[in-house]
Chains A and B, each alone.
Chain A
Amino acid sequence: MYTRFFLILSLFTTFSIYAGNNQHANTNNINITAVIMFLIFISITLAITYWAAKKTRSASDFYTAGGSISGFQNGLAIAGDYMSAASFLGISGLVFASGFDGLIYSIGFLVGWPVILFLLAERLRNLGKYTFTDAVSFRLKNLPIRSSAACGTLAVVILYLIAQMVGAGKLIQILFGLPYSMAVSIVGLLMICYVTFGGMLATTWVQTIKAILLLFGATILALAVLNEFDFSFNLLFKEAISSHHLGESIMSPGGLISDPVSAISLGLALMFGTAGLPHILMRFFTVKNAKQARSSVFYATSFIGYFYILTFVIGFGAIVLLTNNSSFLDDVGNILGGNNMAAVHLSKAVGGDIFLGFISAVAFATILAVVSGLTLAGASAISHDLYASLFCSGKAQEKKEVMVSKISTVILGLAAILLGILFEKQNVAYMVGLAFAIAASVNFPILFFSMYWSKLTTKGAFFGGAAGLITAILCVLFGPIVWVDILGNANAIFPYKYPALFSMSIAFIAIIIVSYLDKSEQAKKEIKAFDNQFVRAQTGIGADGPVEH
């Protein structure tokens, strides 16, 4: 069924590219192609969810699809999880607005991946079962570690979820002409459907299909742009320089990074934040073994890297093709709907209404896939880390545990809808940054030290993680974005936009000092248990295997 869908789509898009850019339909109308393509996407994913629901019985099925996903598909799903609408529309929009600076972001988002592969992927798969917290609590005490890691997970998931929901609502409002609250509700309800009924299996398929559609759509868009410039980057750049109001400076570093502290801080958050995102780390347990886990990172890195190169071309293409076309501009010459709409308008400029419909549907699908992955990670933290491991001290009945995770999914989904509506008029851009900062200063340090430092103790991990969390939140709260821009104070108490340099350092230092000071019997046991953990992490002996059906 999927192949046929793909064929129809490619026919549509090839046709529309040949049709040229002579259509000037009104963008305020509901785009029929977009709606039809989106309905096709929903029907296919719901059919998959129905199929997945029949296969999803045990807790292992629900959390990790029984460990049955192949490395290649998991790579696609990771890419699908990571390439959010924010990175597709946001980065191409950033390139459109300021050229080179957009590239700085995309590189930062990519370089975390090799680090995950070299330092974490295999060990994580060998030590854990369903969530990254499993790996951390291998030798540390369940209660404090599970509760703090679950807090870290939920904080990241909720912040990320709000940012995605608000972005989704606004995007769908523009693309499909739906009211904001209705758009947010549709996204929330569909996501609840996928996750509660189909668990990880359905979520993985939604992410896989979305990744293929997004890579396909972005490739066509970039090729169409390059085609306009005889496949010469030089020509594309030259035209862009003469079209853009900033001129030559779009080719060089601009104002994004002005001082070295911000530069390093942003770099750290992007690089190590990726390695601490719970919904990403969870994906490593959906494959059979460490070998598949590491190959999935290779595929994911390749897809994501390729995708960022495309967004760069798309952004530059938009500079030339949109700024010179009055039908995409408002009265003062700004792009309709804001910079983030650059890729969407560009699809219309190069492929007409049909391609615009396709890209709009892809953007919608993208949002759905990302929020589903996030919600699943959040629900797992509640049901596996808090309910089963803490509340029932690891003796929870499997049926009940799955039930709790489904209830948590529904609650998280409804909360996401509600928060999405509440935050409609707020600036949510800082939330993704804060989510990355928390991931880099809470989840990553705990995970990293638990695998690499034998002297880490429960107290060290707990207090270090807490110190990182509190510092990250305070720095953002008293920083320029929230304290000045949102709360309207004159001067920021904490002068930098990005807290990671400080919150990560504090977390690392606190972990080391508290662990050294911890002389309890428990600590001695934990240090001794490192040897066994080390052998298992290195060789995979004793690791959780896939579940046979």
Chain B
Amino acid sequence: MQEVYNQVKKQPDFQKLVKLRKKVSLTLTSIVILSYFSFILIIAFYPDIFSQKISPDNATTLGIVVGLLIILLSIFLTGIYIYIANKKFDVINNKIIKKLEQ
């Protein structure tokens, strides 16, 4: 196994996979963490922002809209990750494994 791992490590495709996955996971994780903690901190520091109504004759407040958007964003971002993983990660990974078999 040690030899296999050494061989994989040297492959340029492996470096590419690592770099790409790092970029994608870091970006998406930061978006989730930033949006969630801004939501929480606005509630803690400036709750009035979220008390605003979205229009004068609508009872819905900005907080409810933002809250629901964060739920939808979470689902959407996991979908994006799956899409990139299926389209990109797996293709590179299969290349790595194919090269290994040769």
Contacts and interface: CB of A to CB of B under 8 A. Distances in A.
A252 B63 contact: yes
B77 A291 contact: no
A233 interface: yes
Given A111-B74, A252-B47, A301-B74, A100 B63 contact: yes
A117 to B, nearest CB: 5
B39 A260 contact: no
**Which of B1, B85, B86, B96: most chain A Cβ within 10 A?**
B85
B4 A308 contact: no
Interface residues of A, number: 54
Nearest to B96: A539
Given A111-B32, A541-B5, A305 B40 contact: no
Contact of B4 (A107, A117, A291, A541): A541
Nearest to B72: A305
Nearest to B25: A118
B91 interface: no
Interface in A201-248: 233-234, 237-238, 241
Contacts of A536: 5
A233 B96 CA distance: 52
A539 B43 CA distance: 41
**Which of A241, A294, A301, A538: most chain B Cβ within 10 A?**
A538
A252 B51 contact: yes
Contacts of B4: 541-542
A419 to B, nearest CB: 33
A312 B72 CA distance: 14
A541 B71 contact: no
A309 B8 CA distance: 45
B29 A271 contact: no
Contacts of A485: none
A481 to B, nearest CB: 19
A119 B25 contact: yes
A180 B90 CA distance: 52
B56 to A, nearest CB: 12
B100 A253 contact: no
Interface in A79-138: 100, 103-104, 106-108, 110-111, 113-115, 117-119, 122
Given A253-B47, A264-B41, A117 B78 contact: yes
A445 interface: no
A234 B60 contact: yes
A259 interface: yes
Contact of A107 (B36, B50, B77): B36
A397 B71 CA distance: 46
Is chain B's interface secondary structure helix, strand, loop, or mixed overall?
helix
A251 B61 CA distance: 6
Given A114-B78, A298-B79, A540-B93, A252 B36 contact: no
A113 B74 contact: yes
Contacts of B81: 114, 117-118, 294, 298
B51 A251 contact: yes
Interface string A529-541: 0011001101111
Contacts of B14: 535, 538-539
Interface string B33-68: 100110111011101101100000011110110011
Contacts of B88: none
Nearest to A104: B43
B41 A253 contact: no
Contacts of B85: 122, 291, 294
Contact of A308 (B17, B29, B71, B78): B71
B32 to A, nearest CB: 5
B68 A309 contact: yes
A165 B58 CA distance: 42
B64 A100 contact: yes
A297 interface: yes
Interface string B66-102: 0110111011011101100110001001001100100
A32 interface: no
B40 to A, nearest CB: 5
A237 B55 CA distance: 13
A301 B82 CA distance: 12
Given A538-B18, A541-B8, A271 B36 contact: yes
Contact of B82 (A113, A295, A312): A295
Given A252-B61, A302-B75, A264 B82 contact: no
Interface of A: 100, 103-104, 106-108, 110-111, 113-115, 117-119, 122, 233-234, 237-238, 241, 251-253, 257-260, 262-264, 266-267, 271, 291, 294-295, 297-298, 301-302, 305-306, 308-309, 312, 531-532, 535-536, 538-542
19 contacts: A103-B68, A107-B70, A115-B33, A234-B59, A237-B59, A251-B51, A251-B60, A253-B50, A257-B43, A263-B44, A264-B41, A291-B90, A298-B82, A309-B68, A531-B5, A535-B5, A538-B17, A538-B21, A539-B96
Interface of B: 1-2, 4-5, 8-9, 14, 17-18, 21, 24-25, 28-29, 32-33, 36-37, 39-41, 43-45, 47-48, 50-51, 58-61, 63-64, 67-68, 70-72, 74-75, 77-79, 81-82, 85-86, 90, 93, 96-97, 100
Given A260-B45, A263-B44, A538-B93, 7 more contacts: A107-B67, A111-B70, A114-B78, A251-B51, A257-B40, A538-B18, A541-B4
The 3 lowest CB-CB distance pairs between A and B, nearest first, are A252-B51, A237-B59, A263-B44
